[in-house]
A and B are shown apart, each in its own frame.
Chain A
C-alpha cells in the first residue's frame, strides 16, 4: 500500500506555504505531519486535506547552539504549535527578536509561513519547515 501523502509532497506544499495533512474517514482525526496511518485510530482510510496553517504556541526554546553546519542560524527559536485542526507541529518562530521571546508567547496565535533548510551531506536533500509569525 502506498503512502497517501509522502514527505516529498508535504515538503513541496510547505514550500508554497500550504500545510498538507490527512483527515481520517473513520474517526475524523487530522494527522500532520503525515503518517502511513491515522495517528489516532491507525486506519489507512484517510484523505489529503489542506490545513489552515493557524494555531497557537504550546512551548518554545531559543537555541544558542546548533548542529554542525547550522551554527550561523543561532540564536533561533523553535516553537511547538498546536494547529487549529488539533495536531502539534514543530517549526520556528520568525516574527520576533529571539532575545525578546519569553514564556509570555505560550498560548499566542500564529500563522504559518516557511523557510527551507538546504540540507547537508546526511539529509538526502532540502527540507522546508514551518516558520511561524505571531498574529492578532
Chain B
C-alpha cells in the first residue's frame, strides 16, 4: 500500500445555532482545504462525508452529493458515512484506504453537523438512536446515562471513592476549557474551576453538566493524497502512519470488559501495529471526551495510563503540554465542541496542524511533535483510531 498524506485542511468555528446550512458550512471549509492543498475542485476524484443526523437537523439526507456539486466537484463519487460520533473518522479512514490502494490519488473528506437545530429534546432522542433501540432504549437509555453507568462502574471496579472520582472527572473538564481559550474555533471560551463542575446541574448521576460536551454546529475538511502527489503539492505533508477500526454490540453485551471499551483497544492496536509505534512514541493525542469519564477510559484504552489511574494523571498535569502525553490541546469535545459528523475530521485537522507546527501563534503548540494519535467513539459500537506523523 502507498503512503497517504493530509495536504489541505479547513475548519469552521464551532458554535450554537449556526445561521448557515450544512452544505454551506461544509463547502466553506472544503474550499479552504482545497486552496491550502494547491489543487482545484476538479482535481478531487472522490468525496467522503461524515454526517449523522442531517435528516433530522434540516430535513436533508444524502448531503454528500449536494455538497460535492456545490463546491464544483461535479459528478464525482460521493459517499456518506454514519457511525454516530465516529462518522467523520470513518470517512477519513475509508478515504485513506482508497488512496493507499492506488484507486484514487486525491480525495476530499469532510464532516458536518447542525445538532443544535434539533433542540435538546430531539437531539437527546436522536443521539439515543446510537444505542440499542429494542433492548436498551426502553429503559430510558441516553448517552449521558451510558457514561454515567460507566462512571459508577469505574468507581466500583477500580475501588475509587465516588467523591475522588468526581474530582478527577472535574479536572478533565477544567483542562479542556483552559486549552479551548486558545482555540479560536472552539465553541466555548470560558474557563471553569473544579468547584464550578461539581456544582453544575446533575444530568444523569454522577454525570453533571460540566462533565458533558455540548451539542454543536460545525464542519471540518481535509484533502488527502498519495505520497507522490503530496510531495509535489505540499511543503509539509503529514502522513497517516496507522489506521484502525473496530465495532461492538449493545452496552450490556460488552459486560466482560466494561468499563474498558474493548473495540477501542482493538482499533488502537491496529493503528500502533501498522505504524510500528507504541503509546510511548506519541507526542500528542486527540481523544473522544464526550464526557469527562469517557476521556479517562479512552486514555487508558489507548495505552497511556494504567486502568483506574488516568484521573490522577489529569490532576497531576501529565495530560498537559509538557506532560507525559498532551491530550485534547484543542479543548476537546468538551469545550471545542462536538458536531458529531465532523468531530473525527476536526481531530485530524488538529493533529495535522500540530505536526506542521502551525499552533505557535495560538499559544498551544506541542513543540517538536512528531507523532499524534486520534481516537473517536461512535455510539455503543464504532471505534476509530488513526496515527499521524510528520516523519
Which residues of A approach B to under 8 Å, CB–CB?
7, 11, 33, 35, 39, 58-71, 73, 76, 78, 80, 82, 87-92, 101, 103, 106, 117, 120, 122-123, 127-130
Contact = CB atoms under 8 A, between A and B. Distances in A.
A78 B251 CA distance: 13
A69 B140 CA distance: 11
A34 B214 CA distance: 34
Contact of A122 (B129, B135, B253): B129
Counting chain B CB atoms within 10 Å of each CB, which of A67, A76, A88, A91 scores highest? A67
B contact face: mostly helix, strand, loop, or mixed: helix
B153 A58 contact: yes
A69 B136 CA distance: 16
A92 to B, nearest CB: 5
Contact of B251 (A65, A69, A82, A90): A90
A52 B206 CA distance: 30
B182 interface: no
Nearest to A81: B252
A121 B246 CA distance: 31
Interface string B191-204: 00000000001111
Nearest to A132: B139
Interface string B252-295: 11010000000000000000000000000000000000000000
A34 B255 CA distance: 15
Contacts of A58: 153, 156, 255
Given A68-B121, A103-B152, A122-B129, A62 B204 contact: yes
A90 B136 contact: yes
Nearest to A93: B139
B386 to A, nearest CB: 29
B203 A78 contact: no
- Chain B interface residue number, banded: 35 or more
Interface in B174-208: 201-207
A59 B156 contact: yes
A103 B252 contact: no
B156 A106 contact: yes
B150 A117 contact: no
**3 shortest interchain CB distances as A-B pairs:** A61-B148, A68-B121, A129-B138
Nearest to B202: A64
Contacts of A39: 253
A87 B258 CA distance: 13
25 contacts: A33-B135, A33-B252, A39-B253, A58-B255, A59-B152, A61-B148, A61-B149, A61-B151, A61-B152, A61-B205, A62-B204, A63-B142, A63-B203, A63-B204, A66-B140, A66-B142, A67-B128, A78-B139, A88-B252, A90-B139, A90-B251, A91-B139, A122-B129, A127-B138, A130-B139
B301 to A, nearest CB: 18
A76 B140 CA distance: 8
A65 B124 contact: yes
A78 B206 CA distance: 12
A13 to B, nearest CB: 13
Contacts of A122: 125, 129
B139 A65 contact: no
Contacts of B144: 63, 65
B136 A67 contact: no
Contact of B149 (A70, A80, A127): A80
Contacts of B158: none
A64 B140 contact: no
Nearest to A70: B140
A103 B158 CA distance: 14
